[in-house]
Structure 1
Amino acid sequence: MAWLAVSGVVLVIAAGAVALLRWRRRDQEFVGVTPGVVPAPGQPRRVRRVRGGQEWKGPVAVAFAPPAGIGPAVAGTVVDGKVDGRDLAAMLVDLSLRGFFTLEPLSGDGTKGRAKDGSAKSDWLFVRNQNPPREPVSPAERRMLDAVFSHGDQVPLSTLKDNLGLSLREAQIDLYREMIDRGWYRKHPRSRSAWTTLFGILMLIVTAVLAGGAYSVYARDDDPYLFALPVATLVASVLLFTLGRGRSARTAEGTAARIQTLGFERYLATAEADQIRYEEAAGLFTRYLPFAIVFGLADRWAKVVGDALRQGRLERGLDNLEYASDLTSMGMDAISLIGDVGQGIGALIDLGGDIDVGLLDISDAFESFTSSASDLFDSADGCSDGCDGCDGCDLGCIDF
């Protein structure tokens, strides 16, 4: 019976260790303030672990803009704690709309336009802007720009797979590093918690030794309780392998940023045309489209903005020329950066055409690019989560 008691102690310790690990991997949150708000300087900064799961699952207030100073790739990363191909593709869409390069659809034979069978295009041509905007870019954005144009000023997307793997990994690491630099995580968001794995392996070795010893003694004493301890250590190792590992926890600041980002996602998912001012609609479309792509809301966002522009045009009684002038002054000419899809503002409204139809074409084109680029990025050599086997990763990829 003593073996049963010892085995019970082992299981209790293992269960307690797993429970403690899972509690420590819960995100932190601020107490005493509205969810998503960071206490102002001088205010108490009381912090606790979130309730009911590993991350915040409570109600989220609508935010009419993304958290200050973050791009779509950062927004996608703080929501799920992972940099994937779609986040990186949305970053490129954002850089294109900001004027660093243009995107031109290519057909299957490398020429501009649709494929010969009329199907949607799957390849894209990056064309560097020789007079890019003078605005700061993040380390991840700079690395992506340098990687895309490392072999010239006009580069097909399909040619990037073979030489972009390391750059993609480095861009991922830059984004993870940004999570830490902003104070949203204390260590790499995809930390592997390697010490729990090592301890689990050690427990398996102990199990094998105990099982061998128990079998030897059982052959003499015929005591079945001898096997209780190796069974207990085996269960303990399984618990550590399956439940003991997990992601890094967000700080309270990281939870606030995630809630703000989810609030902005909610805005894109629920916005109505009458909530958008006519004078701001075009600028909001191009500025928020990369975020809508990250959240899977591009078509809805295009329709809402198109409705807002059409309503504003009808209320003002504008003819085509006046309408085109308004759109140009609002920055809508940025949509012409998509090559043969955005053929200029005039083409979108010519012969009474609806602007929302043109914007849907634009969002569909960018969504098509995002799909092609994210598939390529996810399959590129070395592009996983910026952690496994990465050279020079100093952000706690392995958490001892």
Structure 2
Amino acid sequence: MFAVLVGLLLVLAGPAGSARAAGGEGMDAFVAAYDLQSDGSMKVTETITWRFPTGQQQHGIFRNIVVRMGYDNQENRYRYFDLTDVAVSSPSGAPDTFRVIDNGAAKQIRIGSASEYTSGTQVYKVSYTLHNVLNPITADGKPATGTTPPATVELNYNVFGSNELTERDRVSVTVNAPAAATKVLCFSGPTGSTTECSSSPGDPSRFSAGPLASGDAMTVVASYPASAFGDVRPDVRNGGADSTVGSEAAPAVNAAAWIGGVGAPILALAVMGTLVWTRGRDERYAGLTPGLSPVPSAGGSGAGPDGPGGPGIVRGGSPTVAVQFQPPKGVQPGMVGTIIDETANPIDVSATVIDLAVRGFLRIEENEGGGMFSRTDWTLTRLDPPARERLLPYEQSLLDGIFSTRGDVVQLSELKNTFASTLKAIQRQMYQEVVTRGWFRSSPQTQRGAWQALGIVIAVLGGLLLFYGRPAISAILGGGFSGGVALGVGLLLAGVIVWVLGGRMAAKTAEGSAVLAQSLGFKEYLTTAEAGQIAFEEASNIFSRYLPYAVVFGVADRWARTFADVARAAEAANQPLLMPTWYVWSGTAFPDFTSIASGVESFSTTSTGTFTSTPGSSGSSGFGGGGFSGGGGGGSSSGSW
């Protein structure tokens, strides 16, 4: 968060090197060498001179390297850049242990040690290999297919993406290749910028830029004769890949392997079934009406949940749902969505944006589209925060993330392909919030993830044994080892069992179950409320307050129809209802509650896709007027921790 706020202040201050506040964090220098290989891969060596904030100690830095991008705007297809051969050192002596972890569409190289600190200015040398980076290009600048041979091979790569919030004083990139580059280009600035930075062709080609402000991307483009490379093509994948497992008949059977193959899934089912029964079922307060929590006695002891006279705790059973006429006290829409399905979904984040608008932190305004009822975009305007309103950490991160580098007014479409990493951080904070509130003993995402990761490991071991280990064991045993098939299949099944049942290991505490019962009771009210139950003087406020919850529950249209009936009754009684001011409708007719709810639902659906989107890569040429900053493949961002 500190880095985001610093980046925002620096962008507002101006683009010169003097714009950075004294003692601020940033890169003094980023020097990269890209060694292109004939197979289309790229060996990368980065030398990063990092200046930590004055007077602060940090553990180290991280680099997010994009490895997965959309391809040609095709659904369920993506381009993949495999990341291998990672190595890290620090010539300046900073802690240089590292680990590589998944971070959405990127792989994060996290450098440093949680038990060590560093400060001042440090130098890090990071090397890795990215595969299938180069693009085969035809003579007319289009991606070469299997039937059309390439005329050139092109590097069109984002050195930095627009989600790089760290300021960089000086950036230098050298590209070595099997042949000299015939053409080069370099772009820097916000996504879509055609501002060129310094570039020179040859062997090697050289590119430089700086200073680069928070949010500035940088893309380098270099063209080479196709004859200097082999069969270069992008690695484009479907959302899932089918595989088949073969077997070979052999007379000798290894008894131990067969026993392991049959026993592995049985053991996995027995162990995981026991764990789900004893630890994976939700806790509940015994002897209390569902939805109620024990009230601590004076002094904080006695009949509270932990006191000697308090209710017991049991596991299992389904909650009895009673209608609740209000949402759980102090529970925001995003928290309701998280407790119901134990997942911080993007729709929960979208509903939080709507809730922040209802509470006065921002305004949502439709931009009129091409048709009478067509909505193409929304304008989000940050407002002065209401008095005495305190935002939760994930709400503050969401508000700051929307307006971090674009001032107080932003188009929803401007967040496309740049918000995914911010979304991940917000979701982590939402999981932490449910733990802080005592609804889970640890993050449900972590609980599920740890077991499901174990399932994947077991299944991968089974697959490796099937395809690679079995021939090796056969050679050791003198051939005739068919038990490897049984063991491999058994481990695959065991892995699937652990993965499936591991997804049920996120158990709520008794307090979490009470909040769940209240939330389901409130959903029941939203889906059954009648117009006659709602007083005219409270109607407008209730409509806005409860609409974000209706979005989470998926009943916004039902809630709107109820209020359409309320509005007609109020109009007949000469007490017309006031329309919400936090959402500005673009329709030509006077808005009603149905049109407001419809617009909010459309905003929620669109924003969910916008928040999760990542940049696409088509493999087309970056020359010929089509290049711009952030328009290549891959990309990276950085930070400290």
- TM-score relative to the length of structure 2: 0.48
Identity score, percent: 34
State how far apart, in whole Å, the 2-side matches of 1:123 and 1:84 are: 22
Contact 1:298 1:363 in 2 (8 A): yes
Q: What do residues 67-122 of structure 1 show as CA deviations (whole Å, max 9, x unaligned)? A: 1111111111111112222211111111111111211111xxxxxxx323334112
Name which of 596, 599, 603 aligns with 1:362: 596
Distance 1:360 1:211, change over 3 A: same
Contact 1:122 1:368 in 2 (8 A): no
Name which of 582, 587, 591 aligns with 1:337: 582
- The unaligned stretches of length 5 or more in structure 1 are 107-113, 221-225, 349-356, 382-390, 395-400
The answer to whether structure 1 residue 183 and structure 2 residue 449 are counterparts is: no
- The structure that has the greater radius of gyration is 2
Deviation of 1:264 (Å):
0.8
State how far apart, in whole Å, the 1-side matches of 2:416 and 2:489 are: 44
Name which of 426, 437, 456 aligns with 1:197: 456
State how far apart, in whole Å, the 2-side matches of 1:103 and 1:10 are: 55
Aligned to 1:385: none
Give 3-state SS (helix, strand or coil) of 1:336's partner.
coil
Write out aligned runs for 1:212-227 (5 A): 213=473, 227=482
Aligned to 1:47: 313
Q: What do residues 35-64 of structure 1 show as CA deviations (whole Å, max 9, x unaligned)? A: 23223331534333324xxxx4x5421111
Give 3-state SS (helix, strand or coil) of 2:413's partner.
helix
Aligned to 2:340: 79
In structure 1, give the amino acid aligned to 2:520: L
Contact 2:458 2:495 in 1 (8 A): no
In structure 2, give the amino acid aligned to 1:361: S
The answer to whether structure 1 residue 255 and structure 2 residue 513 are counterparts is: yes
Distance 1:243 1:271, change over 3 A: same
Pick the structure with more helix per residue: 1
Aligned to 1:352: none
Deviation of 1:125 (Å):
0.5
Aligned to 2:528: 270
In structure 1, give the amino acid aligned to 2:546: Y
Aligned to 1:241: 495
Deviation of 1:180 (Å):
0.9
State how far apart, in whole Å, the 1-side matches of 2:383 and 2:312 are: 48
Write out aligned runs for 1:111-190 (5 A): 114-130=368-384, 132-150=386-404, 151-190=406-445
Distance 1:100 1:232, change over 3 A: same
Q: What do residues 134-170 of structure 1 show as CA deviations (whole Å, max 9, x unaligned)? A: 4111111111111122221111111112432222111
Distance 1:239 1:21, change over 3 A: farther
In structure 1, give the amino acid aligned to 2:339: V
State how far apart, in whole Å, the 2-side matches of 1:44 and 1:77 are: 28
Write out aligned runs for 1:274-313 (5 A): 274-312=532-570
Aligned to 1:28: 283
In structure 2, give the amino acid aligned to 1:44: G
- TM-score relative to the length of structure 1: 0.75
Structure with larger RCO (C-alpha < 8 A, sep 6+):
1
Distance 1:6 1:284, change over 3 A: closer
- More off after superposition, 124-133 vs 64-73: 124-133
The answer to whether structure 1 residue 99 and structure 2 residue 365 are counterparts is: no
Pick the structure with more strand per residue: 2
Give 3-state SS (helix, strand or coil) of 1:99's partner.
coil
Give 3-state SS (helix, strand or coil) of 1:155's partner.
strand
Matched pairs, number:
343
CA root-mean-square deviation: 3.2
Name which of 601, 605, 608 aligns with 1:371: 605
Deviation of 1:371 (Å):
1.5
State how far apart, in whole Å, the 1-side matches of 2:269 and 2:584 are: 59
State how far apart, in whole Å, the 2-side matches of 1:166 and 1:253 are: 31
